[in-house]
Each structure stands twice: as C-alpha cells, then as structure tokens.
Structure 1
Amino acid sequence: REAPLETVLCVVDATARPEALNEDALLRSQLRAADIVALSKVDLVDAAACAQMRAAIRMLRPAAVVVDAINGAVPPALLFAPDLDRLPALREVGPRGPVADRFEALSWTSERPLSLPRLQQAIGRLAPKLARAKGLFETPEQPGRLMVFQLAGGRATLAPGGPLLAGVPRTRIVFIAELGVLSRAEIDRIMETCVDVQAT
C-alpha cells in the first residue's frame, strides 16, 4: 500500500553557483517537484548571491516556498500537516520575526457543507498567498462523508476522508502563510462564499 506524499522539501546550498541548478539533472528534477526549498548556508554568502540563487530557484519552480534554513532550521508548520483536531489559537499579525516565526497558521471552520466548485474558486484566489493549507470538509453531494483537502507548493489535492464525527465542525481548514500576507477577514470573506446555504 502506498502512503500519500504531502510535502516535498529540497535543500539547496546557497554557496553553489546558480548555474549548477541547470547543470545537475537530479537536482533540477528535485527542484521541479519541490513544494518547499530550504536555502542552506545563507550565512556564508552575501545578500546578492542569495538573491541570485533565489531567482534561479524561481526560474525552475515558481510555486515553491523558498526559506532560508539558518542553522538548518525550517519552520515545522511548512513541513508537517496541521493537526485538524487541535486548531491553532487565533493570532494577530505582528512584526516579522526569525524564520521560525515567519509563518502563521489561520484556521477557518463552518458548521455547513461547502460547494466544491466554489471552494475550488476560493482556493484559486487564496493560493498565491499560501505556503500551505490542509483541511476536512463535507459537500452536499456526500452528506456525512468528509473530503480531505491539501495545498502545498501550488498543488492542490482532494481525497476521500472518513465519516463526519458528532460534535466536530463540518469544515475545518488551516491556512499557513507568511506573517501579514493574509488576514482573518480576507479568509472569512473568501471562504464564506463556499458555504452551501441550501444544505442543512
């Protein structure tokens, strides 16, 4: 049996020549599949060299989230799926901090099922601002059954989930974005358009 692949991480050495990304077929294929690119050894090069490497990465994989892996650290929220049973506490957007505090998780819940076509439109609008998203939701077409939604590196997937449990919201989605890029009001405004008001 196969396990679903949730996130692909590729580590790139900032001290390497940007041209090397195109010269190494294995590295090039890894970058093209990456959802997240961790730029290592950024402390050993100047800002201009880092910018050149980021530009070279963007040429190969524009949708990837590129983070500086200072001392090898990558924000865990980018790597591991959010625990949908323990939604993060709401947080006000604050000043940009170190790499670990560069991202925030904002959750959205609803007691009503979602229209799948409208959810696809909403995610299309939110995706450019997201590093990652994951959630469970019910549709009117399959009452009592959950769908599992996931977005990473610009790729969205849907898969059948389990039955809806009593006492749990019909929809639970966690959005991960850089601090200050996405607001709770924007998420609420866009996601409310997905709610199927006809369903009970």
Structure 2
Amino acid sequence: MDAGTPPSAFDDALVRAQLRVADIVALSKLDLADEGAGARMREAIRALRVPAVVVDAQHGEIPSALLFPATVDRAPAAREPGPRRPAEERFETLSWTSDQPISLPRLQQAIGRLAPKLARAKGLFETIEQPGRLTVFQFAGGRATLAPGEAPTPGAPRTRIVFIAELGVLSKAELDGIMAGCVASG
C-alpha cells in the first residue's frame, strides 16, 4: 500500500476488504512520502483491526522468504464455512503449487481465462523457457506484470501462486484444472 495514500482511501469498501484478507501489507513509497507517513498508515491499518503483518517495503522490495516460506511442512488447515459475510468481506484466496516448471505461454493463456474472475494474484514460478530462475508474477486491475526473481530455493515448489477472487466465483477444482495445463510436459 502506497505510504502516501490519503486517509479517505480507507472509506472504500474494496480497500478495507483487501486489507482484511491480506496476510501481509507492504508499505511502499516510504522513501517518497513525508517522515510521518509510515506511522500514519500503520495507525490507520491498525484502526481497521487488520490481522496482517505490516512491513516497510523500501524501494518496493519485500524479502521473498516473508512471502513464500522455503519449507512447506504442513497442509493448510481445513476451514469450516462461516456465517454469511458482509458485502465488504467478499474475497477468498486459493493457492496453486507445482514441483514442475511451467510454460510461460500456457500460463499467459491460463491467466487470460482466469482474469475475469480474479481480483488479484501473485506468485513465484520457474519456467521451462528460463530454468533455474524464478519469475515474480503479479496481477491486479486486469494487468499482469512479470519481474526477475531470485534463484529457486532447494526443496521448495517451483511454482507458488495465490489467487484472490470473490467468494464462490472460482472453485479450487476449476483453478487446478486450468493451471494444470501450464505444467511443462516431459
């Protein structure tokens, strides 16, 4: 979240909903904002009772270990469906991982198919086109961006992508089926 964001941004239901489902809130552009901007943003986020970890993203950098732990030693805990949520808490996250490298053109096709259902997506992946190197992927506002990443962590999945969609719009089975087509064969 941009450290120079005006307080009125927190009046937006979508902003509040995204903050409430976030695991991490990265304060960006701190180097461009005034001295107290970071503290004001932290206070505003805390006032919303956001359970996320808030980190300073100096020059937009966040340690990949914070986003994607090197070891995945447990399966995600099963969640029971809760009571009906208010309209502003309308998002869910779905994760997809693969131990195989993926095809970048196939991923682009998959994201094209998924885009109408996504609010956001982010992740790291290794492609058959550039083996031995991770690519950082982000999708927001209908736009996808790719950036060079670090070398893969030994033992970690080669692809780790988190998708955020409105509740009930995208099933895990549909996501898995589309993303399985990205895995490089043979």
Q: TM-score, normalised by structure 1?
A: 0.59
Please tell me the root mean square deviation across aligned C-alpha atoms, in Å: 3.3
Candidates 95, 102, 111, aligned match of 1:107? 95
Q: What does residue 183 of structure 1 align with?
A: 171
Alpha-carbon deviations, 1:163-195, whole Å to 9, x = none? Answer: 011110000000001111110001000000000
Native 8 Å contact 1:96 1:179 kept in 2: no
| Residue type at the aligned position of 1:166 | P
Candidates 68, 71, 93, aligned match of 2:13? 68
Question: Could you list the runs of 5+ residues in structure 1 that have no partner in the other structure?
Answer: 1-5, 14-37, 41-66
Native 8 Å contact 1:88 1:106 kept in 2: no
Moved over 3 A (4+): 77-82, 86-96
Cα distance in 2 for partners of 1:10, 1:154 equals 21
Candidates 159, 162, 170, aligned match of 1:174? 162
1:94 offset after TM fit, Å?
6.1
1:142 offset after TM fit, Å?
1.6
Candidates 97, 120, 130, aligned match of 1:142? 130
Q: TM-score, normalised by structure 2?
A: 0.63
Native 8 Å contact 2:123 2:137 kept in 1: yes
Native 8 Å contact 2:95 2:163 kept in 1: yes
Question: Could you list the runs of 5+ residues in structure 2 that have no partner in the other structure?
Answer: 27-65
1:68 offset after TM fit, Å?
2.4
Q: What does residue 151 of structure 1 align with?
A: 139
Give the length in aligned residue pairs. Answer: 141
Candidates 78, 83, 86, aligned match of 2:67? 83
1:154 offset after TM fit, Å?
0.5
Native 8 Å contact 2:122 2:163 kept in 1: yes
**What SS does structure 2 have at the residue aligned with 1:126?**
helix
Native 8 Å contact 2:135 2:149 kept in 1: yes
Identity over aligned residues, as a percent?
A: 62
Q: Go from structure 1 to structure 2 and tell me whether the alpha carbon gap of 1:92 and 1:114 turns closer, same or farther (over 3 Å shift).
A: farther
| Residue type at the aligned position of 2:68 | L
Of 73-82 and 124-133, the range deviating more from structure 2: 73-82
Cα distance in 1 for partners of 2:115, 2:130 equals 25
1:141 offset after TM fit, Å?
2.0
Alpha-carbon deviations, 1:69-99, whole Å to 9, x = none? Answer: 6xx8343146847933389656576664125
Q: Go from structure 1 to structure 2 and tell me whether the alpha carbon gap of 1:91 and 1:125 turns closer, same or farther (over 3 Å shift).
A: farther
**What SS does structure 1 have at the residue aligned with 2:153?**
coil
Cα distance in 2 for partners of 1:10, 1:74 equals 16
Alpha-carbon deviations, 1:130-171, whole Å to 9, x = none? Answer: 000001000112211100110011010001100011110000
